[in-house]
């Protein structure tokens, strides 16, 4: 009986969030774009039109009935490669070492989780404790921001080598300052509320107050920010791939696809445009989704 009521409320909750998305046209469009890529990614787990790494066709073909989006400079089917490419971004991460261990959740997702964990911890400490904590943490973060992002990527990858985990680490470190600033400002606002005073007069520990009293109330804006950050992360993966230091083969990487096709740009423009379009639509979709969600969430706030 009890479990049943709980289940119903969860369904209700799910429906509430769906209707929240549908209430905003921007979020609806965004979620359709993201869902499109998610569905493609799931299908690619079981089926792609052709083998994504086999040179089965003529090189640099335009779109035709066999190859919907054409083929690349090695005669591989671009559509199959695009489909497969969504996996590393959204669905799986390949751990280094023997036996090709794969964990669920794409590189972009883990990168954002990493930067959130790092940024939230630093931001809450800076915002809630204030004083020297705030000074020191913010100085470190400001120093990080002062570096050009690409240089940071290069430093991390040059130091640690290539691999999915390294890309995740690079994204985490470059994303953390932004998250920390947001978390800090939220913490500074929330710590003035009376319920924080109540927790203090109860003698609660600093960590309890930060993570149990403040964090749940800051989670709304942080989640929306995280969603935007998935977009930035995909962008970053694209950039790294383009520089040739991104996700390692054998799985195709959109950024790398652009990079490789770039050499033949005068004979086969479409081979550059398709992966670029893929990155763009996924990022724009996520941005629209997050923006619409934020708007809809703040509209009925008291």
Q: Could you list the residues that contact another protein (CB under 8 A)?
A: 23, 193-195, 197-198, 200-204, 213, 216-217, 300, 302
Between 66 and 205, whose beta carbon lies closer to another protein? 205
Supply the minimum distance, in Å, between the C-beta of residue 2 and another protein.
11
Between 90 and 182, whose beta carbon lies closer to another protein? 182
Between 9 and 269, whose beta carbon lies closer to another protein? 9
Supply the minimum distance, in Å, between the C-beta of residue 141 and another protein.
25
Supply the minimum distance, in Å, between the C-beta of residue 213 and another protein.
6
Q: What is the largest CA-CA distance in the chain?
A: 74
Between 134 and 213, whose beta carbon lies closer to another protein? 213
| Euclidean distance between CA atoms 25 and 23, whole angstroms | 6
Between 104 and 203, whose beta carbon lies closer to another protein? 203
Supply the minimum distance, in Å, between the C-beta of residue 113 and another protein.
21
Between 73 and 129, whose beta carbon lies closer to another protein? 129
Supply the minimum distance, in Å, between the C-beta of residue 126 and another protein.
19
SS (H, E, C) the chain: CHHHHHHHHHHHHHHHHHHHHHHCHHHHHHHHHHHHHHHHHHHHHHCCCCCCCCCCCCCCCCCCCCCCCCECCCCCEHHHHHHHHHHHHHHEEECCCCCCCEEECCHHHHHHHHHHHHHHHHHHHHHHHCHHHHHHHHHHHHHHHHCCHHHHHHHHHHHHCCCHHHHHHHHHHHHHHHHHHHHHHHHHHHCCCHHHHHHHHCCCCHHHHHHHHHHHHHHHHHHHHHHHHHHHHHHHHHHHHHHCCCCCCCCCCHHHHHHHHHCCCCCCCHHHHHHHHHHHHHHHHHHHHHHHHHHHHHHCCC
Supply the minimum distance, in Å, between the C-beta of residue 57 and another protein.
53
Supply the minimum distance, in Å, between the C-beta of residue 132 and another protein.
16
Between 24 and 121, whose beta carbon lies closer to another protein? 24
């Amino acid at each position: 009986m009890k479990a049943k009521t709980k289940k119903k409320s969860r369904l209700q909750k799910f429906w509430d969030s769906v209707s929240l998305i549908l209430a905003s046209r921007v979020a609806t469009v965004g979620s359709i774009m993201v869902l499109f890529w998610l569905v493609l990614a799931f299908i690619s787990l079981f089926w792609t039109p052709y083998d994504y790494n086999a040179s089965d066709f003529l090189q640099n073909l335009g779109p035709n009935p066999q190859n919907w989006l054409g083929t690349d400079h090695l005669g591989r089917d671009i559509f199959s490669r695009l489909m497969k490419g969504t996996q590393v971004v959204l669905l799986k991460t390949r751990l280094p070492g023997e036996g090709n261990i794969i964990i669920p959740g794409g590189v972009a997702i883990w990168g954002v989780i990493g930067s959130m964990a790092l940024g939230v911890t630093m931001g809450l400490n800076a915002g809630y404790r204030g004083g020297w904590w705030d000074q020191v943490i913010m100085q470190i973060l400001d120093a990080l921001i002062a570096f050009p992002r690409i240089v940071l990527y290069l430093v991390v990858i040059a130091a640690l080598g290539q691999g999915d985990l390294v890309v995740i680490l690079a994204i985490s470190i470059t994303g953390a300052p932004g998250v920390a600033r947001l978390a800090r400002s939220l913490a500074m606002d929330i710590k003035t509320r009376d319920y924080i005073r109540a927790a203090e007069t109860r003698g609660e520990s600093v960590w309890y107050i930060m993570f149990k009293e403040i964090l749940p109330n800051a989670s709304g804006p942080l989640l929306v920010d995280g969603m935007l950050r998935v977009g930035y992360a995909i962008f970053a993966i694209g950039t790294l791939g383009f520089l040739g230091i991104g996700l390692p083969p054998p799985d195709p990487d959109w950024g790398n696809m652009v990079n490789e096709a770039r050499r033949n740009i005068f004979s086969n423009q479409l081979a550059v445009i398709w992966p670029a379009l893929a990155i763009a639509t996924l990022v724009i979709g996520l941005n629209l989704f997050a923006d619409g969600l934020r708007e809809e969430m703040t509209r009925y706030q008291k």
